[in-house]
Amino acid sequence: MINKKVEAAINKQINAEIYSAYLYLAMNAYFSSVNLMGFANWMRIQALEELTHADKFYNFVVSRGGRVKLEAIAAPPVEWKSTLAVFEETLKHEQKVTALINDLVDLSLKEKDHATGSMLNWFVDEQVEEESNAENIIQQLKLMGESGHGVYMLDRELAGRVFVPPVQSQP
């Protein structure tokens, strides 16, 4: 049986993960509107990853005999100043999610909920990757400045990103 404090915190995390998907879909729509389809693809894949994260938390709560309680999802922004601004917001958002995951780890330790702690290790590792991916794109964008050629080349590269769902155990 899942610890009730941990259950409530994971329910909030499910909401945060779904908001992340909303945010990345809004960024996808922004990039589509300025005809940067590779960047749009990157954000679409990011949104799918976030929904997978929400699903992983959802399934964990159910498998531990808990109750998932979904909340309203806030509307994300819809406009950004530049491609760089989108990825700076992406990094800032991922850092916020990392802090939320770290808080969940701390809570699971405090509550001696070792099963949750074990599950959260996957998310800790995932957040290292998420932040690194955003930071790498930011550095590339800064390196190329306002070069249309550079943005074009990076757009083509990002068009190749594909969604690879993580292996999940079934509840």
Q: pLDDT, tens digit, for every residue of 117-164?
A: 999 999 999 999 999 999 999 999 999 987 789 999 999 999 999 999
CA pair distance 60, 106, nearest whole angstrom = 18
Question: Structurally, how many domains does the chain consist of?
Answer: 1
Distance, CA of 118 to chain centre:
20
Whether residue 9 lies inside any domain: the answer is yes
* Residue 166: inside a domain: no
Burial letters 69-91, b for 16+ CB under 10 A, else e = eeeeeeebeeebeebbebbbbbb
Contact 36, 83 (CB under 8 A): yes
Does residue 76 lie within any of the structural domains? no
Residue 99 φ then ψ, to 5°: -65, -40
Q: Is 87 a domain residue?
A: yes
Q: What's the pLDDT at 147?
A: 79
- pLDDT score at 168: 61
CATH number of the CATH domain containing 65: 1.20.1260.10
164 is a domain residue = no
Q: What pLDDT sits at residue 56?
A: 97
pLDDT at 28 > cutoff 90: yes
- What b/e readout covers 112-126, taking b as 16+ CB neighbours within 10 angstroms? ebeebbebbeebeeb
pLDDT > 70: percent of the chain: 98
Residue 48: the pLDDT is 98
Token duo for residue 68 = 């998932």
**Number of C-alpha atoms within 13 angstroms, CB side, residue 16?**
17
| Domain hosting residue 62, numbered range | 4-71+81-158
Q: What is the mean pLDDT of residues 20-43?
A: 98
Q: What is the mean pLDDT of residues 43-65?
A: 98
pLDDT for 171 beyond 60: no
Band (167; pLDDT cuts 50, 70, 90): confident
